[in-house]
Amino acid sequence: QVQLQESGPGLVKPSQTLSLTCTVSGGSITSGGYHWSWLRQHPGKGLEWIGYIYYSGNTYYNPSLKSRITISIDTSKNQFSLELTSVTAADTAVYYCASGVTPVVYWGPGTLVTVSS
Amino acid sequence: DIVMTQSPLSLSVTPGEPASISCRSSQSLLHSSGYNYLDWYLQKPGQSPQLLIYSGSNRASGVPDRFSGSGSGTDFTLKISRVEAEDAGVYYCMQGLQTLYTFGQGTKLEIK
């Protein structure tokens, strides 16, 4: 069974770049036909798609975040990553990495990222 | 964007009793393939969401058969035949037909 684990700083200053990595275990990131996704959940709120990447490198980004997002994949490390630039307090959320898009089959435990000076 | 609307937003159910959650989409989720691109997820307290139902009515691996999904087009329902204490949490529907994929607001299930 595929397992995912997010890692990265829990605190980011306003205007800086949020960088998270998702490590995939229990399967190769290039097999299974999965898209590798990032989602987030603002405190006490619902779920929001950030975007996803296929192992070939094709990406989809949420249009509302598109100008600030980069999702990349490192097949040699079985990892994929998220960069979100120019963060504000509105980017404070639990960030989830996941496999699949519809449906989202496996989820990481999530990591809280707080944007604050 | 496709807007997903769930009802009710909260419900309180006695163990052993049934529960039902409705999800409506602003556009039909029925693809030309015949599949409805509608999934259901449960987020238990302090956990990440877990997949319950995909394509409207297919239970994910390991999901108890007391959970069932039905509906087509724009109207969908998640039913729990006999609620158990472990079913507490927030239930979300999600449309996967059109990127940007979107979720409903969530329905909080409390066990009495």
**What are the tens digits of pLDDT across the range B64-89?**
999 999 999 999 999 999 999 999 99
Does A51 contact B at CB distance below 8 Å? no
Mean pLDDT of A4-30: 95
Does A2 contact B at CB distance below 8 Å? no
Question: Residues A20-74: pLDDT tens digits?
Answer: 999 999 988 987 667 999 999 999 999 999 999 998 889 999 999 999 999 999 9
Picking from A69, A82, A110, A74, the residue whose alpha carbon sits closest to that of residue A21 is A82
Cβ density class A20-40: b for 16+ within 10 Å, e for less? bbbbbeeeebeeeebbbbbbb
Q: Where are the alpha helices (DSSP H) in B1-110?
A: none
- Measured in angstroms, the CA of B39 and the nearest CA of chain A are apart by 6
